[in-house]
Each structure stands twice: as structure tokens, then as C-alpha cells.
Structure 1
Amino acid sequence: MTTGIDEAIGFIDGAETTMGIATVHIDMLAIAADGNRVLTERIDRFERADGSEIGRVTLMGIFELKGDKIVASRDYFDTNAVQQFGTG
């Protein structure tokens, strides 16, 4: 879990260092809104700098908005799918 921009950037930088993730492609499957909440179903595809795929995960996410800013974000996914990165 991260709080704030600096922690989020640090998390992303750490993923690049520890897992070799250079790019994330997001394929949106479905999206719905309920008041200030936006729910998403998507596939996140992670790639190395050379374009080869590290792995992909199907997940559900929720963003909570205040005005035009995201004030909270959570993702729900099968952790076993992430553990398979680099083994397939």
C-alpha cells in the first residue's frame, strides 16, 4: 500500500528494479461508476525493456474520486497469478 505521489513513484521504481518491469499495458474490459467511485475490470500486462512479456494479471479495481482527483485506489486480484511471473 502506498500513500501519496512519492510513495507511489517509489513503488513503481522498485518494481522495475526487482522485477524488471519497464512498461505496463492496461486492457480495460469493463468500467462502471457509482457516485464518486469508479470500478474497473482489466488486464495489466507487464513487459521488460526489450518488449518481452513478464506476465499478466486480470484484476478488479476501484478508484474513489474527490472532484477531479483520485483520493483512494485499490486493486483486487489472484495473488497466485502474480507469483507465476517469469515462470511461464
Structure 2
Amino acid sequence: MLAIAADGSRVLTERLDRFERADGSEIGRVMIMGIFEIDGDKIVEWRDYFDVTAVQKFAAG
């Protein structure tokens, strides 16, 4: 988690997700912006946004 902010029932997150193989070696990293919408103590909506080209680069090998 790099940053987090809240406004009422919305929580915005900036994070760096790291993908790795079973042996622990890194496949790649992706910066992600997420938004959670909260109702009481439950997450009722969850969306993530990221640069598709970054995922395509490490998926290609």
C-alpha cells in the first residue's frame, strides 16, 4: 500500500502489486489504483484500475 484516502463511504488506494512464481522469483509489478465503497462494516463495491500495457509486458515473458 503506497497511499490511502477516504471520503465518506469511499476509500481510494494506491498500491504496488507484485507477482511472483512458486519459487519466489518476481514475474513483475503493477501500480494499481483501487476504490472501495463501504456500507456499514462491509465492502459493497470494489474496483481496480491499472495500465494494461504493464501487465502485457510481463505476461509476454
How far off is 1:55 after superposition? 1.1
Would you say 1:60 and 2:9 are equivalent positions?
Answer: no
Pairs aligned (count): 60
| SS at structure 2 position matched to 1:51 | coil
| 2:22 counterpart of 1:49 | yes
More strand by share: 2
SS in 2 for 1:80: helix
Q: Distance in 1 between matches of 2:21 and 2:40?
A: 35
SS at match of 2:12: strand
Identify, as 1 or 2, the structure richer in helix: 1
1:31 aligned partner: 4
| Equivalence for 1:81 | 54
Runs of 4+ with deviation above 2 angstroms? none
Using the TM superposition, give the Cα deviation of residue 56 of structure 1 relative to its aligned residue in structure 2, in angstroms.
0.8
The answer for unaligned runs of 5 or more in structure 1 is 1-27
Aligned residue identity for 1:52? S
Cα distance in 1 for residues equivalent to 2:27 and 2:11 = 28
The root-mean-square deviation of aligned C-alpha atoms, in Å, is: 0.9
Give the structure-1-normalised TM-score. Answer: 0.64
C-alpha displacement at 1:31, in angstroms?
0.2
Q: What's the secondary structure of 2:23's corresponding residue?
A: coil
